Each structure stands twice: as C-alpha cells, then as structure tokens.
C-alpha cells in the first residue's frame, strides 16, 4: 500500500508548539522505512496519524490514493506501540491475540487458526501459551504476545515504534528477523528507532525528523552522508563514522559506506589497491 503525506501539520491540544510541521513524503508499497530523530521530534506522532489515532489539522494523508477515512485503515495498518507489553489487558493469551479479530467482526470460527498462526510467527507454541495469563509471562514473551496481537490481522502496513527498545540482543535479533520476513512477504514496514545501525542495515528509505520537521528523506547512504544529521544531534552508524574518520585521515576511500558490509568492502578495496564501490 502506497502512503503519501502532503504538508501535514499536527498540534496536540493546548501544546505550545506543533508536534509535526509541513511534513511531506511518500512510501511505496513493500518498502522498509526507518524513522529516526531525537526524543520528542515527532516520530510516534507520525505513526499515530498514519494509524488514524489522531487527525491532522491540515494537509493530506493518502493511502493507496485515498484519504485515511475511506481505507479501513485499522484493518490494513498494524502498530506495535512503544513498550507494547504495557498494554496487555486480557486474562488469557488467546483472548489477548484474538481481540483485534473480535473488534473487526471476524467470525469466531476463524479465531483459532488466526491466533495460532500469529503466535507461531512470534515463536510461541500455541499449545503451550494460549491458555496462559499474559501477565504471568516473561518480559520477552509478553512483547511477543503483544506483537502477535497485531500480526493476527495480517496488516499490509506494519508500524513498529522502537520495537527493540529494552530487549536483549537475542530479542532484538528476533524482532529484526520478523520484520525482515514480513517485509519479504510484501508488507510495508515502518520502523521507528534510536539505533542508527538498525536504520542503516535494515531500511530502503530513512525519514529524519527534527523538532517536528522532516529534515531529510532518502536511502541510508544519502541520509547518513548528509551533514545535517550530525547538526540535528543524531549519531552516525558506527560503519559510517569509521569511514568518515578514515577519510579525514586521508585514507584513499572513494565510497560513502554506512553499513558494516559496505565499509568492510571499501576498506578491503583500499588495502588491496582495488577500486572501492560507491555504496
């Protein structure tokens, strides 16, 4: 599903400054998009607008060429909120994961296969977990249940608001692989993160917000080679930082690598005297 924001403005009631100012960008169907920006820059607000939890005061948000209201957006867009495990409410995992199906009037006969599929997608055995109380699970299991409760609707656009915050390395790898798999299935993924490596390694496109404005938007290579990133108080991915430092010390590196793999290729090319690819 294609998403187009045009001159979108949003202010929270009674807020002194707008949370989003004149935001315009496009996302193509099936893209993996990272949204980065310092704390308070408007990332979660942008997600809430797309999900339809709040309404912009001006500007247009079109999904597949239609305004949000005409799109059955809640069925097509799934959002995993920041710290989603805090929003668990049901007495059993089955009830928790099937809640969205109930809200959308899906016939009850379809709950079991859909819930089991969603639980398997997040690596939880339905036989073991369906009857458990979500509040009695470990932190990592709670987050998986919360993600399953979004996947159960098979959304075509999946928004993940800082999905890897507060999880260990294995948990982070699991969520990353899940998002990559959904994206490979054709789902548009919008991934909000403070981890620049995640943005560089995962995304086709990076949106950079700064104080409610869209600072820049482009491929990871374009964005992390834009001087305004550092001026806006954001870090560079380690690989991009390394390449920058090497160039500053006159290393004959021609490319602008921002991922580990690309940086390694550029350093190898330098050391072996070959040409480095501009990646």
Task: Point out which residues bind ligand ATP (CB under 6 A).
Answer: 12, 15, 19, 37, 39-45
164 binds, among ligand ATP, Mg ion, none (CB under 5 to 8 A by kind): none
- 195 binding Mg ion? (CB under 5 A): no
Q: How far is the CB of 41 from Mg ion (least distance, A)?
A: 9
Strand partners, 210: 213
Ramachandran sector of residue 52 (left: φ over 0; alpha: ψ -120 to 50; beta: rest): left
Residue 15's binding partner among Mg ion, ligand ATP, none (Cβ under 5 to 8 angstroms by kind) is ligand ATP
Query: Which residues, in sequence order, are bridge partners of residue 34?
Result: 191, 206
Size of the site for Mg ion (CB under 5 A): 2
What does 41 interact with, of Mg ion, ligand ATP, none (CB < 5 to 8 A by kind)?
A: ligand ATP
68 within 8 A of 77, measured Cβ to Cβ: no
Between 223 and 257, CB nearer to ligand ATP: 223
Residue 19 binding result from Mg ion, ligand ATP, none, given CB thresholds of 5 to 8 Å by partner type: ligand ATP
* 276 sits near Mg ion (criterion: CB under 5 A): no
Q: Which does 42 bind (CB under 5 to 8 A by kind): ligand ATP, Mg ion, none?
A: ligand ATP
How many residues are given for the chain? 279
- Tokens representing residue 118 in the block: 């969603």
* 164 and 175 Cβ atoms separated by less than 8 Å: yes
Among residues 44, 56, 195, 225, the one that binds Mg ion under rule CB under 5 A = 44
Residues 131, 127: Cα–Cα separation, whole Å:
8
Residue 116: which of Mg ion, ligand ATP, none does it interact with, CB under 5 to 8 A by kind?
none
CB of 154 to ligand ATP, least distance (A): 26
Closest approach of ligand ATP to the CB of residue 190, in Å:
13
Angle between helices 169-184 and 139-151 (to 10 degrees): 10
Smallest distance from the beta carbon of 51 to ligand ATP, in angstroms?
13
Tell me: does residue 156 bind Mg ion (CB under 5 A).
Answer: no
CB of 72 to Mg ion, least distance (A): 25
**Closest Cα to residue 35, out of 189, 235, 233?**
189
Nearer to ligand ATP, 189 or 207 (CB): 207
Q: Minimum Å distance from CB 45 to ligand ATP?
A: 3
| Closest approach of ligand ATP to the CB of residue 210, in Å | 10
Q: Which is nearer to Mg ion, 163 or 255 (CB)?
A: 163
| Residues in touch with Mg ion (CB under 5 A) | 43-44
């Amino acid at each position: 599903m294609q998403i187009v924001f045009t001159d979108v403005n949003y202010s929270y009631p009674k807020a002194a400054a707008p949370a989003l100012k004149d935001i315009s960008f496009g996302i193509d169907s099936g893209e993996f998009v990272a949204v980065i920006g310092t704390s308070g820059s408007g990332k979660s607000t942008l997600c809430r607008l797309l999900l339809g939890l709040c309404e912009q005061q001006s500007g247009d948000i079109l999904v597949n060429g239609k305004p949000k209201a005409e799109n059955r957006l809640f069925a097509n867009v799934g959002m995993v909120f920041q710290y989603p495990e805090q929003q668990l409410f049901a007495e059993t995992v089955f009830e928790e994961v099937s809640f969205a199906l109930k809200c959308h009037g899906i016939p009850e006969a379809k709950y079991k296969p859909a819930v089991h599929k969603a639980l398997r997608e997040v690596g939880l055995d339905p036989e073991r977990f369906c009857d458990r109380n979500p509040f009695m699970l470990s932190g990592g299991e709670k987050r998986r249940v919360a993600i399953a409760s979004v996947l159960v609707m098979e959304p075509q656009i999946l928004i993940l608001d800082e999905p890897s915050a507060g999880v260990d390395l294995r948990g982070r790898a699991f969520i990353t692989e899940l998002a990559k798999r959904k994206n490979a299935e054709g789902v548009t993924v919008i991934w909000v993160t403070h981890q620049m490596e995640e943005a560089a390694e995962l995304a086709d496109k990076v949106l950079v917000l700064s104080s409610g404005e869209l600072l820049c938007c482009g491929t990871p290579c374009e964005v992390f080679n834009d001087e305004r990133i550092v001026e806006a108080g954001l870090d560079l991915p380690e690989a991009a930082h390394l390449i920058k430092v090497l160039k500053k010390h006159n290393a004959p590196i021609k490319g602008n690598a921002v991922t580990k793999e690309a940086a390694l290729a550029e350093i190898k090319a330098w050391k072996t005297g070959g040409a480095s690819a501009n990646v």
